[in-house]
Amino acid sequence: DISYNFLSEIKIAVIGGGINGLCTAWLSARKGHAVTLYERDKIMQATSSASSKLLHGGFRYLENAEFRLVREAAKERLFWLKQAPHHTHIMRICIPVYADNHRSGWVIRAG
């Protein structure tokens, strides 16, 4: 009997060096696949370069009681803090609150 592990012999070509292409290439390479990334310009040049690059904790979803999205966003943020600590850091921000604000106090204090 001869058996083959086809998954370890996969060669993957990823087209596009934006966030989706980079993550696909990175995760595939971590699984041991041979990956080639093709990008027409600089990596993360177009949409990715226009991004704020903020990893928020999903607290904005609390306002609409979307607890699943809050949990998912917080898990993703923690993932990136653990997997790429050299590219991520905690940043405190200030949000102005105006007199005619429609959000309740607990939502603002929660973040």
**pLDDT by residue (tens digit) across 41-96?**
888 777 666 777 777 778 778 778 899 998 998 898 898 889 888 878 888 877 77
Q: Give the mean model confidence (pLDDT) for residues 92-104.
A: 79
Q: Which residue has the higher pLDDT, 36 or 43?
A: 36
Distances (CA, A) of 58 to 14, 55, 71, 76: 29, 9, 7, 10
When pLDDT is cut at 50, 70 and 90, the band that residue 97 belongs to is confident
Place of tokens 């917080």: 74
CA distance 109 to 107: 6
Give the type of residue at 14.
V
CA distance 57 to 42: 29
- Say what the pTM is: 0.54
When pLDDT is cut at 50, 70 and 90, the band that residue 7 belongs to is low
**Dihedral sign, CA of 96, 100, 103, 105?**
positive
Residue 8 has pLDDT above 90, yes or no: no
